[in-house]
Structure 1
Amino acid sequence: MKFITKKSIPRRTFLKGVGASLSLPLLEAMIPAATAMTKTAANPVKRLGYVYMPMGCDITRWTPGSEKNLDTLSPILDSLSPVKDKISILTNMELKPAYPGSHATSNSAFLSAARAKVTESTDYYLGTTADQVAAQHIGQQTQLPSLELAMDLLQTVGQCDNGYACVYQNNLSWSSPTTPLPAEAHPRLVFENLFGEGGTPAQRQAALRKRASLLDSVTEDMRRLKRELGANDREKLTEYLDSIREVERRIQKAESDTKDNPLPDLDRPTGVPAAYADHARLMFDLQLLAYQGDITRISTFQLARETSNRSYPEVGVATPHHPLSHHGGNAEKIAQMAKINAFHVSLFAEYLEKLAATPEGSGSLLDNVLILYGSGMGNPNNHDHTNLPTIVAGGAAGGMQGNRHITYDKPTPLANLHLTLLDKVGVPIESFGDSDGMISELFQPLSM
């Protein structure tokens, strides 16, 4: 590790150790060394995230009670109350390219706004997704151009939905119309991808056996760095490393719990928490750490695959999600589906609160990110793609004004939102998918 002066540390400084390479959060000591290519507190790094909720929702329990603001949050969105000043809800967004309605096209069109080729074979064809458009423009500035995460470890193959290959449901991100990017659902593998130094799985495991924690190997480098830092930076660095250690501890506990279980779960390999919420929180925390260390500025996260038959006993839902989504108007099934919707949103709300509590520059990580949370399906019982559940979260880095409910009189392309968010993180393009304009309301001053 090389330092310029006690007051001038390069933004891309790493802590090095055996099998470890840890990037650092933005420190005060880095700001004097800023150049035109280095973002400071006055000119912050901008990030773009996407979180996918499968199989639509009960829109009656989703839509806020007020037409203009979020003063009256709906039952599904109630957990977002602590961060409502940093979110906006958009009503009547549409994905025309997802028709004819299907689960496969709900997932595939969500980030591409493109029509999937009907095929059950390997000649699939879609479009470059919004996250990868961003990655091509700003992703090369970081260790990882983008980060693709999911919750389902087993990806299906072959034909999954009405003549569509399973690849359309498995993958949110496509770097080209013929190149889907597989997502990783295993916390240990994501952790090592973010903080490990590479090598084969066998080499990484050998390095792990030599130490209790990945952080153990950077202890000496960390001591040297702390001698170069002021009190505020030492505290910030300690908190960052403590967060990494806590995530690693939770991964290790999941590995130990699985190893000690005499009844192996073939769907849950070693290292994946048994409870859905614990697994999801780990994946959200890994995204936070990736942003905080500027390891990547672009991430996608699939909360579950379309047609997922996962049940959610944690919130009293024993019936699998997919059958519930085909509720046929049954009030009890709709209520159960809404519980799942609310559960997913609550985990997202926890993530936003953690981003808001993580300082960066003159604000927080949440100030410096724009995140789209939503689904490619509206009413799952009808397999329609109109009136999509859509949330945008984030802050002043993109100039977004929160605490608002934006309602359109007629269906508006979700591609307009993609075009707008790309523009706000420094990726100005003329059009995207079936876009026909920008969503300027998100970034206009709030009216009195």
Structure 2
Amino acid sequence: MIITKKAVPRRALLRGMGASVALPLLDAMLPAMTALAKTPARPVRRLGFVYMPMGCDLPRWTPPGEGRITALSPTLQSLAPVANQLTILSNLELKNAYPGTHATSNAAFLSAARAKWTESTDYYLGTTIDQVAAQQMGRETLLPSLEMSMDLLQTVGQCDNGYACVYQNNLSWASPTTPLPAEAHPRLVFERLFGDGGSAADRQAALRRRASLLDVLHEDIARLQRTLGAEDRVRVGGYLDTVREVERRIQKAEAQVADAPLPDLDRPAGVPASYADHAKLMFDLQVLALQGDVTRVITFQLARETSNRSYTEIGVSDPHHPLTHHGNDPDKVARMAKINAFHVSLFASFLETLQATPEGDGSLLDHSLYLYGSGMGDPNVHDHVNLPILVAGGGAGSQPGARHVRFAEPTPLANLHLTLLERAGVRLDAFADSKGRVDELLSV
């Protein structure tokens, strides 16, 4: 590492044996001997997108009243600690998701585009909002964007009413013909963030060479810490402690799988057996990616559409997808809503971590915008109106919170996408079927 004029470059990395660790934003990264050096480090803006599959029970999702949030709905109750950073939006729609399928729900969520009806490789959709953002925001980061999911197996062929599985497998599309595969394996995400990659054999060899990423970088870390002020030393120390903790959890998961008496063909080594543990680990990796400024754009799919995962850890043994075809049976609706609330609680815990992570004159949450929601409204009828949508974060001071906005008329979800791009500093005149920006989201 080269440090000149007592200022650390924003893109400074600790490197060693095929691994690297990006540093969080530090006051020492401001130019030395200038007025800026006396001000808090300037934050960057981030955009994240979390997909909840198969809609939800909207009565349990929708907060009471409109305007300032005074009470959260049952499904959103776990978000109470970060309520001042929330905007819930009702009556948004995805017209291009019709004729009402699981494939088009997933495909249209970030593209707002109509998927070509095909079972073959001539699929066609549209560039998604995250990739529009990454084209500009990703110029200054190691990774232009990061695509993550919770499902380790990706099916091929046709998955839903004649639509190719590619539409359900991928949230992010770099172009109408280029879907970007998402990674569900925590170790591979970790290696992508902090390692040089290579083949699976190369990665295994690298793992054998090093007991811990930070042990390899010990001398570099010590040298860096000696050049920093007290506050920056604490900030770097906390960040590296988190890196080590995430690495420890990955190694623990790998050891548990290695010690299992029977092979698990559906779960590669290193993936926690518990859905909640797996999701929390994937969210923690997002925190590291954002804090280290490895990327500023992230997408995360909590489960694929038509997922038959059972959530026995919360007392729901029924497969998720059949529960969404509940026929208005109150017991089935209640169990589906329990899954909805569980997914939200994992997101809420992630937001609390962002809020507790200092950066500049605020927190990571203050300087981020995350869109959470689904491309389907009522799963019992497969509609794409009144979507469950919320936006969390402060967007570097650009986004007010603690509000419920209900549009008088059905409004394109693309209007929100266009607005989020603007909040992140990406100016675009139109996106997909947008008819303007969401003025209510911009006003304080």
TM above 0.5, yes or no, is: yes
Residue identity in the other structure for 1:2: I
Aligned to 1:277: 276
Secondary structure of 2:310 counterpart: coil
Residue identity in the other structure for 1:246: E
Tell me the CA shift for residue 439 of structure 1.
0.7
Evaluate the alpha carbon distance shift between residue 375 and residue 274 of structure 1 in structure 2; reply closer, same or farther with a 3 A threshold: same
Within 5 Å, give how 1:300-311 maps onto structure 2. Answer: 300-311=299-310
CA distance in 1, matches of 2:440, 2:42: 23
CA distance in 1, matches of 2:67, 2:8: 45
TM-score (norm 1): 0.96
Aligned to 1:326: 325
Tell me the CA shift for residue 171 of structure 1.
0.1
Greater shift in the superposed pair: 212-221 or 344-353? 212-221
Tell me the CA shift for residue 396 of structure 1.
4.8
Residue identity in the other structure for 1:4: T
Within 5 Å, give how 1:25-104 maps onto structure 2. Answer: 25-32=24-31, 41=40, 43-104=42-103
1:429 correspondence with 2:428: yes
Aligned to 2:418: 419
Residue identity in the other structure for 1:46: R
Deviations 1:246-293 (A, max 9, x none): 000000010011111112221111100000000000000001100000
Given that 1:10 and 1:33 are in contact with CA atoms closer than 8 Å, whether structure 2 keeps it comes out as no
Aligned to 2:248: 249
Secondary structure of 1:306 counterpart: coil
Residue identity in the other structure for 2:157: G
Secondary structure of 1:318 counterpart: strand
Given that 1:9 and 1:33 are in contact with CA atoms closer than 8 Å, whether structure 2 keeps it comes out as no
Greater shift in the superposed pair: 373-382 or 397-406? 397-406
Aligned to 1:180: 179
CA distance in 2, matches of 1:391, 1:18: 42
Aligned to 1:359: 358
CA distance in 1, matches of 2:234, 2:429: 44
Secondary structure of 1:296 counterpart: coil
Given that 1:308 and 1:322 are in contact with CA atoms closer than 8 Å, whether structure 2 keeps it comes out as yes
CA distance in 2, matches of 1:346, 1:338: 12
Deviations 1:128-174 (A, max 9, x none): 00000001112121000000000000001000000100000000000
Aligned to 2:381: 382
Aligned to 1:442: 441
Deviations 1:382-411 (A, max 9, x none): 000000000100115151110000001111
Aligned to 2:116: 117
Tell me the CA shift for residue 42 of structure 1.
6.5
Given that 2:45 and 2:395 are in contact with CA atoms closer than 8 Å, whether structure 1 keeps it comes out as no
CA distance in 1, matches of 2:188, 2:292: 17
Residue identity in the other structure for 2:94: L
Aligned to 1:3: 3
Deviations 1:68-96 (A, max 9, x none): 22211110000000000001100011000
CA distance in 1, matches of 2:30, 2:9: 9
Greater shift in the superposed pair: 354-363 or 40-49? 40-49
Given that 2:13 and 2:22 are in contact with CA atoms closer than 8 Å, whether structure 1 keeps it comes out as yes
CA distance in 1, matches of 2:149, 2:33: 35
**Structure 1 vs Structure 2 CA RMSD:** 1.4
Given that 2:30 and 2:41 are in contact with CA atoms closer than 8 Å, whether structure 1 keeps it comes out as no
Residue identity in the other structure for 1:3: I
Secondary structure of 1:388 counterpart: coil
Residue identity in the other structure for 1:233: D
Tell me the CA shift for residue 203 of structure 1.
2.4
1:393 correspondence with 2:392: yes
Gaps of 5+ in 2: none
Given that 1:370 and 1:398 are in contact with CA atoms closer than 8 Å, whether structure 2 keeps it comes out as no
CA distance in 2, matches of 1:286, 1:215: 16
Residue identity in the other structure for 1:216: D
Taking every aligned residue pair, what percent have the same amino acid on both sides? Answer: 69
Secondary structure of 2:30 counterpart: helix
Tell me the CA shift for residue 65 of structure 1.
1.3
CA distance in 1, matches of 2:92, 2:266: 35
Residue identity in the other structure for 1:58: D
Within 5 Å, give how 1:197-208 maps onto structure 2. Answer: 197-208=196-207
Tell me the CA shift for residue 207 of structure 1.
2.2
Residue identity in the other structure for 1:205: Q
Given that 1:46 and 1:398 are in contact with CA atoms closer than 8 Å, whether structure 2 keeps it comes out as no
Tell me the CA shift for residue 230 of structure 1.
1.0
Within 5 Å, give how 1:143-292 maps onto structure 2. Answer: 143-292=142-291
Aligned to 2:128: 129
Residue identity in the other structure for 1:388: L
Tell me the CA shift for residue 217 of structure 1.
1.0
Tell me the CA shift for residue 438 of structure 1.
0.4
CA distance in 2, matches of 1:33, 1:393: 34
Residue identity in the other structure for 1:370: L
CA distance in 2, matches of 1:70, 1:105: 32
CA distance in 1, matches of 2:159, 2:197: 34
Given that 1:378 and 1:384 are in contact with CA atoms closer than 8 Å, whether structure 2 keeps it comes out as yes
Tell me the CA shift for residue 66 of structure 1.
2.3
CA distance in 2, matches of 1:120, 1:199: 32
Secondary structure of 2:88 counterpart: strand
Secondary structure of 1:32 counterpart: coil
Evaluate the alpha carbon distance shift between residue 89 and residue 138 of structure 1 in structure 2; reply closer, same or farther with a 3 A threshold: same
Residue identity in the other structure for 1:322: H
Evaluate the alpha carbon distance shift between residue 106 and residue 41 of structure 1 in structure 2; reply closer, same or farther with a 3 A threshold: farther
CA distance in 1, matches of 2:15, 2:157: 43
Secondary structure of 1:16 counterpart: strand
CA distance in 2, matches of 1:292, 1:272: 23
Evaluate the alpha carbon distance shift between residue 52 and residue 157 of structure 1 in structure 2; reply closer, same or farther with a 3 A threshold: same
Deviations 1:311-349 (A, max 9, x none): 101111000000000001111000000000000000000
CA distance in 2, matches of 1:417, 1:249: 38
Given that 1:85 and 1:402 are in contact with CA atoms closer than 8 Å, whether structure 2 keeps it comes out as yes
Tell me the CA shift for residue 60 of structure 1.
0.5
CA distance in 2, matches of 1:263, 1:42: 51
Aligned to 2:343: 344
1:21 correspondence with 2:20: yes
Residue identity in the other structure for 1:326: H
Secondary structure of 2:232 counterpart: helix
Gaps of 5+ in 1: none
Given that 2:395 and 2:423 are in contact with CA atoms closer than 8 Å, whether structure 1 keeps it comes out as no
Secondary structure of 1:202 counterpart: helix
